[in-house]
A and B are shown apart, each in its own frame.
Chain A
Amino acid sequence: MANAKTDFQPHSWSRYLYRFHRRRALESNPKQMALSQVVSLIGTVLSGYLFELNKDHLVGFVGAILVMPGVFDLTSSLGAAMSAKLNHTLEFSSDSAWKNYWRAVGFSLKEIIAAGILVALVGGGLAALVFGTSAWQVVWLTFGALSLTAVVGLPIIGYLTIKVRQRSINPDDVIGPIQSSLFEIFSILAIVLIVVSTT
């Protein structure tokens, strides 16, 4: 019989994301919150710098800038939800941490791919409608960037969640700013890589 406490349940991602952020916001003191904001700020400014460094490539591919916020948003929110769910599961699960890790990463990858199809189609449609560019080119760019970012980012965040937990630190306090910066950086790099390889 399925064990509700140990199985990696396909609950709504936003429930875990909400509780993850709510717990961080309510239990962190102002100094801790300010420190996590500094980490997040440095990471996101770095992603802005990467954006600036590669703007000539991006401006040549109509739709690349359009899809960027969608790619950031989806990978970052599902990455945070995965970390929160994994942390929660590890508290109750009788399975090994690494078994739960692969289950969590696999499940979140499937979620990103499923949600990514929708985001890619909408992005491609918008680009074709407004700019008259090829919808399929933008669809492939979006889906490719989401998949690449997820394949690289999710295992790293899952790994960090387990390692931080093993050092008796609550991952909810540490992973948040790291994951948002990492996914922003990976998203930009993935988009640039796909744009450069197709032009």
Chain B
Amino acid sequence: MKFWHRESVRRRSSFWLSSLVAGLASCISLVGGLSLELVADRLLPVIPLLIATPSLNNMVGDYAAIIAAHIGDPSDRERTRRDLMKLLSRVVLVNIFGLLMLSLLLAHSRGYIANTIFITKFAVFVVGVFAFMLLAMFAISIWLDRIVVKRQLDPDELLIPVVTSITDVAVLSLVAGGAIILF
């Protein structure tokens, strides 16, 4: 009877802890949403940027996974970094090109007329956001990995959620900043 009671208490506390961690990670994303809401009147008319925003937000999670998966293997760092560069270069190229084409085409279908200057600014902005995203993730992943190894913590619990949440907020804030400054 004691075993079942302990097991039941352990499962309940694990469920609540797990839900709390998931909730807290998502609460951090709300800060990114706050920056978008603050500049909504400047962001909403820029249709290509509006269409691209969920994609930029989503890619943070994908890249965090790729980088975190390759960053922490000390036994084979050179091969790991080579594999990572190979993977990332193809993925980033596909995403940049695809995102630019699709956002501009869909914006055009909604009657948005983009001149050459706008297209250039938009392309430079998207490339800039990607570059920032990757640099930030590398820096945070390497820094976190050192802490995790030093304190003998489990990376499964920390790496992706923390890297994703921090970079998420940063990217959405960049989008908000871009809407005010560039467009």
Contact = CB atoms under 8 A, between A and B. Distances in A.
Partners in one complex: yes
Interface of A: 2, 9-15, 17-19, 21-26, 30-31, 33-34, 37-38, 40-42, 44-45, 47-49, 51-52, 55, 59, 62-63, 65-74, 76-78, 110-111, 114-119, 122-123, 126-127, 130-131, 180-181, 184, 188
Q: Which 4 A-B residue pairings sit nearest by Cβ, starting from the closest?
A: A21-B65, A25-B69, A118-B23, A115-B23
B29 A73 contact: yes
Contacts of A12: 14, 17-18, 21, 156-157
A114 B99 contact: no
Contact of B61 (A31, A42, A76): A76
Interface in B26-63: 26-27, 29-30, 32-34, 36-38, 40-41, 44, 47, 50-55, 57-59, 61-62
A52 B86 contact: no
Given A30-B87, A69-B172, A21 B69 contact: yes
Contacts, number: 222
Given A12-B18, A49-B51, A25 B66 contact: yes
B5 interface: no
B58 to A, nearest CB: 4
A37 B106 CA distance: 19
Given A33-B87, A111-B18, A116 B23 contact: yes
B15 A51 contact: no
A15 B159 CA distance: 10
Given A72-B57, A115-B26, A55 B90 contact: no
A15 B153 CA distance: 13
Given A30-B86, A76-B61, A15 B156 contact: yes
Contact of A118 (B18, B24, B51, B91): B24
A123 B22 contact: no
A77 B70 contact: no
A143 B68 CA distance: 31
B124 interface: no
Nearest to A35: B94
A45 B52 contact: yes
A168 to B, nearest CB: 24
Interface size class of B (residues with CB under 8 A): 35 or more
Contacts of B165: 73
24 contacts: A14-B160, A14-B161, A21-B68, A33-B66, A34-B91, A37-B95, A37-B98, A38-B94, A42-B98, A45-B102, A48-B51, A48-B103, A49-B106, A65-B37, A67-B33, A69-B36, A71-B26, A73-B164, A77-B25, A115-B23, A118-B20, A118-B24, A122-B27, A130-B38
B38 A18 contact: no
A26 B15 contact: no
B29 A69 contact: yes
Contact of A22 (B52, B68, B102): B68
A26 B69 contact: yes
A119 B23 contact: yes
A62 B20 CA distance: 26
Nearest to A22: B69
Nearest to B27: A122
B16 interface: yes
B51 A52 contact: yes
A122 B106 CA distance: 34
A25 B23 CA distance: 25
A131 B41 CA distance: 14
B77 interface: no
